[in-house]
Structure 1
Amino acid sequence: MRVTSNSYENSYFHNLFERSDEEYLSKKIELKQIIESLSTKTSYIFRKNNFWYIFEEWILPNKGIIRRWDVKDESDWIPKKDFTTEFRKDNSTIIFDVGNLPKQFEGYEINRVSISSMDSYLAITVSKDGYFDIAISELESISQQTKWIRNISLEASFDFVDEGIVFVRTDHLGRPSKVYYESFIDPESILIYEEVEDIFRIRIQKVNEPYYTLIKSESYSRSEVYVYSTKQKLDLIEIWSKSKSKPVSINILTVQGKKYAGIVIKDKNRKGRCLLREIDGVRKVIPLCINIDETISIHKIWEINDVILVKYLKKEHIQIGVLLTKNIKNIEEIFLIKELQINSHSKLYQNNFSPNLLFFIEYNNICDETIFAYSMLDFKKSIVFQSNILTKDEKICSSMVWASSRDKNTQIPISLYWKCLSDDNDLYKRKGVVNVYGAYGKKEKGINLDPMAVAVIEAGFLYCIAHVRGGGFLGGKWYRAGKQGKKWNSIYDLIDCCDFLINEKILNEEQIGLISSSAGGIVAGASLNVRPNLFKAMLLFSPFINPLGALMDLEDPLSKTETIEWGDPINNPEDRKYIESYSPLQNVQNALGSKTSIVSITGLQDIYVSTKDILKWSNKLNYYKVDSKVYVNSQVGHGGIGAGDFEFISKILSNFLCSIGEKKYDNE
């Protein structure tokens, strides 16, 4: 029986992708083990305030335990790689266990668990029928539920503020628009801010400060930012106005005992500069002078446990330093940066709570990671421990190559990853998977800890990331070269990258697959219309394939919020003509007779991409003799995959990889 995209009977879809051949069965088992192993994380044992914690086998909603120990050595803040004789399971206290929850959680799916800044409360985000709630309980006893907050926006996030919580609810279009505060001892919600303009979406930004949180109302070009303070009688303080250009970043800093908003903006030369704006007192604005070095471009400034960090660009390299403030007598004086010697593969460890140490994770060979510490007393670096995230003792190699664009004026970077084998390490006519996104200035990162990417590589495929224009891999100019009236650059870049890999005999032209998601669906769908047989198969997650329809629909929030990215087809005929020229759904007839097999995964609760559009596109592809199927997951939103659904993703991925490995057109 042929299952088309009209069918919501997902059991049929599952059966269709279940094969009996040996290659498929062995791949499915291997992929499931890899994806489950990499997805099911156990955190390192870390200290926060007066307790040690570990998040054990953490893969919500399926399983997850939080264990806790009392602090015995006040001077010890070093994370532990695993259980030790001191930190054992049998001497720990379990403060949360997905498999042993009170009855009030029956029927709900656990999405997120957060511990308050002072270790007093747990916030458990749960979902049912597409709605999200927060259950608040005292840390000492999860059965003693303190509060249940209904219908919150998970997209907008939430934050503990002193003895309460700040959260957001959505309007009838699913747009985060109203900010509330609830005290843990008061049953009433207090509306503290409402955004009435359709173009803006609310977000809560957490900061390292128990009495403050940041509330942002943002579009793609403007932003209004408030500090919400429980120290100042629940005061809402505006620190950035919509009338100004959108800041790069904002965080709360403590300098000489006073609270400031550290605001990073772009100057006329597109370099990042920082302003300090007082939260207390007269709230004057002070230019933050750092090293008086005009070559520095600041990207971000933030605070961790009284240490102010600065991320900046200097001599074309991203660096992180500590802002030295102790010897500053006057806030207008020049600040100095103590540069930290870390490489570009390092990132700040998420559980940094030590008063005198900063912890970083450094990646090596993709799957090897090292935890090292910087002392804030003498700025000396020391290795804490090293670990390999793969269960197998294997290495993943990486390289970068550059493809020429068709106009010969641009070089497009392509990241390559493959399994290192001593007997066969040549990149010659490999079967491969190309990943592409290319929108919103998003910088495509490497494959560190990406379970699906690692599984593809472990299955013997060359994994290629095409860093096309429209993404942010090479900065703002690269992004602007692939947005609005230059979107064809993104599409042609993908095709040119693939042609380069084929012509250089790196990829086998008969064994190439494509993976993409969300806005990357535009590049994927348009490339299918331009080169119908470039790819053997496509695996797409919530693909955005009808930008023209979404932007023309006044009832769709995208028609108001996305014009900065794509253009304004309602008010600008030229924009409409240009978007229509590449919009996949409107040009699907150009894919007539393509031998590419396409599988799209979508969530019925998706508030960003229309499931109906994906089904319509798939039906049209089938009409034009292109094999296209859609899996509609009724329980999830954007992305279409539920956390922990390893059986399904391994089935789909193994089928996808097996179809790439087959000889091209052997089904004719």
Structure 2
Amino acid sequence: MLPPVADRRPVVRAHHGDDVTDPYEWFRAKEDAAVIAHLEAENAYTEARTAHLAGLRDEIFGEIKGRTLETDLSVPTRRGQWWYYGRTVEGKQYGIQCRAPLASADDWTPPVLSPDVEVPGEQVLLDGNVEAEGHEFFSLGSFEVSNDGTRMLYGVDVAGDERYTVRVRDLVSGEQLADEIPGTGAGATFSPDGRFIVYPTVDEAWRPDTVWLHELGTPVADDVTLFHEPDERYWVGAGFTRSDRYLVIGLGSSITSEEWLIDADDLRREPRVVWPRREGVEYESEHAVVDGEDVLYLLHNDGALDFELVRVAASDPAGDRTVVIPHRAGERLLGVSTFRDWGVVAYRRGGLARLGMLDYATHDVREIGFDEPLYSVGTAGNPEWAPPLLRLGYGSFVTPSTVYDYDVASGELLLRKRQPVLGGYDPDDYAQARVWATAHDGTQLPISLVWKRSFGDAGAAPRPLHLYGYGSYEHSIEPGFSVPRLSELDRGVVFAVAHVRGGGELGRQWYEDGKLLSKRNTFTDFVDSALHLVDRGYTSADRMVAEGGSAGGLLMGAVANLAPELFAGILADVPFVDALTTILDPSLPLTVIEWDEWGDPLHDADVYAYMKSYSPYENVREDVAYPRILAVTSLNDTRVLYVEPAKWVARLREVGADALLKCEMVAGHGGVSGRYNAWRERAFELAWLLDVLGVADA
């Protein structure tokens, strides 16, 4: 079967005296029947080219399914007079949200639930399988129960375009209320008294730009605008403090933020600013009560590259600041969460995320320690204002996702649940490590590795290796557990993460050195990491596959052009490979917001030239042999449009590359919905990857 050959319909793009002819820009016309036909032809070609892997796909899907406890319950979280938890049921795609009453008002120990034992007083709040009936796609963007436990709101997307319809259910009678709010963004929430819903909407560029107030029982047409942000560089969101004292309206770009407060007991009052925005200054606030005074704990980078934590009076945030945690170069403060009696600080040190308990009186921080050399940890599920326990989520490359409660008084970690992995999984059968490569400019680059011990130590002999990378938005790739990854490791593949600049693993400077006019460092760091793994005997170029998604897909396209000889294959998920065309068009979703990350090529000729020098679609080469490439995208993705990988694959084919495109016709940026669909999608990708690595029959 021959690959689809798309019509060439040249369109000229002209900026800064540079004329570029683009033969495939016509793919952008999503409603054009010829575009849909081309995408369907691409899917048919990809299916035909991978038909020999159908058995392996089924095998991997069976392994994922066989290792997963399909009927299970989450650890209950206390809120008000109820324990809230989720159920999954064998054979069902979506989760079921439930609750059960507390045994007593002083009960803080979550009940141990079993799938085969009835939970006394259980109420099913929302069954995603029922809500998804008749739809190929289903996703929740909002889900919340009012403080008094009598009403529930939920926002549903059935297209994958991240626009949600908010509905309200009376939990006493079980009836749906007449209130229905279409076209919202994610993150709708009840007011503390349950009378109102606060929700965001997006503009034509899919930017959350307005926060609204809806009074239950009134027409949506009467909803009140609480805040509107006209500047296209900023997104807007809103939520109530854990104390229920304030509604916080937050604005942010990649480099600047601003917050406004409204007293929760009078939501129609004019909001007041915390700190007026200043270009390049980011901050976030949390409310607490210290010595009877309303205060804000403010995390900010005003003169503090890796951020500083200060305390200010809530009545006068611009007044005197008390330094709580001073700036420490290289130790990135990530966030603060406040409770009635203590706070929690999240930070990064030595490339790992950490948590510390904050004493309001002394400002001391007591770090919560863990034994593994590589791990990820964060707070999770802590809605109450005055709990004696702190809920944590923990995991590593070898330790399945784990839920702890941390006893603040004793410092004891209470294990509540570890993700069951069926089939006799033993974490001691696997090993994880971190090694360091040297970049072309001398920078030390961390690389995380995980492998199965029975195949020998990583580095003892060249092995098939799967190298993952991202490197944008200060996003760190954490050492996390993955059931699908076991299907690779058990076939002798080493999984590695190149923690390249542009991410956040080693502090804010690590991010700054991989964005804007330093973006090329992201790409060369990945190449240098791959070279290190080859030079040190971990793998060889013909036994290494690279993977990245979204902005990490841009990384994949860039390294394909920079060092095609270094990889046997490249897997690009929803890849941002036509970056310059997208960032030049302010009418496209989220483009203007992205200028702080990539630069503004529309108005700056230097940025234009720099982005043109690395944007993958612009730089497909005719003088090299490309590795095998699989690009996966979704028709309804609003973040990275399907047109980018579609154009990229067509251009790669022109130079003889073996490139495949798989386009989900009903999905969004995160791919298909439903856990079984997601498992099959990952099985498809892993089967292709194993085939490229030559271990498909292992």
Report the TM-score when normalising by structure 2.
0.83
Structure 2 unaligned spans of 5+: 7-37
Question: Is the CA contact 2:75–2:416 (under 8 Å) kept in the aligned structure 1?
Answer: no
Partner of 1:410: 443
Change (3 A) 1:369 1:531: closer
- Asked if residue 613 in structure 1 is aligned to residue 648 in structure 2, the reply is no
Which structure 2 residues correspond to residues 360-509 of structure 1 after superposition, within 5 A?
360-363=392-395, 366-368=398-400, 371-376=403-408, 378-385=409-416, 387-392=418-423, 393-395=425-427, 396-407=430-441, 409-421=442-454, 424-427=456-459, 428-448=461-481, 450-509=482-541
Partner of 1:332: none
Q: Which whole-Å CA distance do the structure 2 matches of 1:2 and 1:642 have between them?
A: 31
- Asked if residue 124 in structure 1 is aligned to residue 158 in structure 2, the reply is no
Q: Which whole-Å CA distance do the structure 2 matches of 1:257 and 1:41 have between them?
A: 44
The Cα shift of 1:55 comes to 0.3
The counterpart of 1:242, out of the listed 277, 289, 306, is 277
Partner of 2:31: none
More off after superposition, 514-523 vs 288-297: 288-297
- Asked if residue 270 in structure 1 is aligned to residue 305 in structure 2, the reply is yes
Q: Which whole-Å CA distance do the structure 2 matches of 1:558 and 1:293 have between them?
A: 32
Partner of 2:364: 337
Q: Which whole-Å CA distance do the structure 2 matches of 1:209 and 1:540 have between them?
A: 43
- Asked if residue 192 in structure 1 is aligned to residue 219 in structure 2, the reply is no
Question: Is the CA contact 1:430–1:508 (under 8 Å) kept in the aligned structure 2?
Answer: yes
Q: Which whole-Å CA distance do the structure 2 matches of 1:462 and 1:198 have between them?
A: 43
- Asked if residue 322 in structure 1 is aligned to residue 357 in structure 2, the reply is yes
Q: Which whole-Å CA distance do the structure 2 matches of 1:245 and 1:159 have between them?
A: 29
Q: Which whole-Å CA distance do the structure 2 matches of 1:181 and 1:452 have between them?
A: 42
Partner of 1:94: 124
Report the TM-score when normalising by structure 1.
0.87
The Cα shift of 1:588 comes to 0.5
The Cα shift of 1:227 comes to 2.0
Q: Which whole-Å CA distance do the structure 2 matches of 1:617 and 1:302 have between them?
A: 43
Question: Is the CA contact 1:372–1:381 (under 8 Å) kept in the aligned structure 2?
Answer: no
Q: Which whole-Å CA distance do the structure 2 matches of 1:502 and 1:169 have between them?
A: 49
Question: Is the CA contact 1:205–1:215 (under 8 Å) kept in the aligned structure 2?
Answer: yes
The Cα shift of 1:269 comes to 5.0
Percent identity of paired positions between Structure 1 and Structure 2: 20
Deviation per CA, 1:415-473, whole angstroms, max 9, x where unpaired?
A: 0011333x64454211111111111221121123x454444334432111011112111
SS at match of 1:538: strand
Question: Is the CA contact 2:144–2:190 (under 8 Å) kept in the aligned structure 1?
Answer: no
Change (3 A) 1:126 1:159: same
Partner of 2:9: none
Partner of 1:522: 554
The Cα shift of 1:414 comes to 0.6
The Cα shift of 1:237 comes to 2.3
Q: Which whole-Å CA distance do the structure 1 matches of 2:206 and 2:356 have between them?
A: 40
Q: Which whole-Å CA distance do the structure 2 matches of 1:613 and 1:369 have between them?
A: 34
Change (3 A) 1:487 1:317: closer
SS at match of 2:445: strand
Question: Is the CA contact 2:306–2:508 (under 8 Å) kept in the aligned structure 1?
Answer: no
Question: Is the CA contact 2:349–2:506 (under 8 Å) kept in the aligned structure 1?
Answer: no
Deviation per CA, 1:187-217, whole angstroms, max 9, x where unpaired?
A: 3311111111211111234532345332222
Which runs of 4 or more aligned residues in structure 1 lie more than 6 Å from their structure 2 counterparts after TM superposition? 38-41, 58-61, 105-108, 291-297, 313-318
The Cα shift of 1:476 comes to 1.4
- Asked if residue 214 in structure 1 is aligned to residue 241 in structure 2, the reply is no
Deviation per CA, 1:294-332, whole angstroms, max 9, x where unpaired?
A: 89875422213553223357899865443334xx6xxxx
Which structure 2 residues correspond to residues 152-191 of structure 1 after superposition, within 5 A?
152-154=184-186, 157-162=187-192, 163=194, 164-187=196-219, 188-191=222-225
Question: Is the CA contact 1:17–1:652 (under 8 Å) kept in the aligned structure 2?
Answer: no
More off after superposition, 106-115 vs 389-398: 106-115
Question: Is the CA contact 1:367–1:389 (under 8 Å) kept in the aligned structure 2?
Answer: no
Question: Is the CA contact 1:592–1:625 (under 8 Å) kept in the aligned structure 2?
Answer: no
Q: Which whole-Å CA distance do the structure 2 matches of 1:388 and 1:274 have between them?
A: 34
Partner of 1:579: 611
One-letter code aligned to 1:212: Y
SS at match of 1:550: helix
Change (3 A) 1:269 1:63: closer
- Asked if residue 301 in structure 1 is aligned to residue 336 in structure 2, the reply is yes
Partner of 2:377: 346
One-letter code aligned to 2:190: F
SS at match of 2:250: strand
SS at match of 1:9: helix
**How many pairs does the alignment contain?**
645
The Cα shift of 1:287 comes to 1.3
Question: Is the CA contact 2:311–2:323 (under 8 Å) kept in the aligned structure 1?
Answer: no
Partner of 1:589: 621
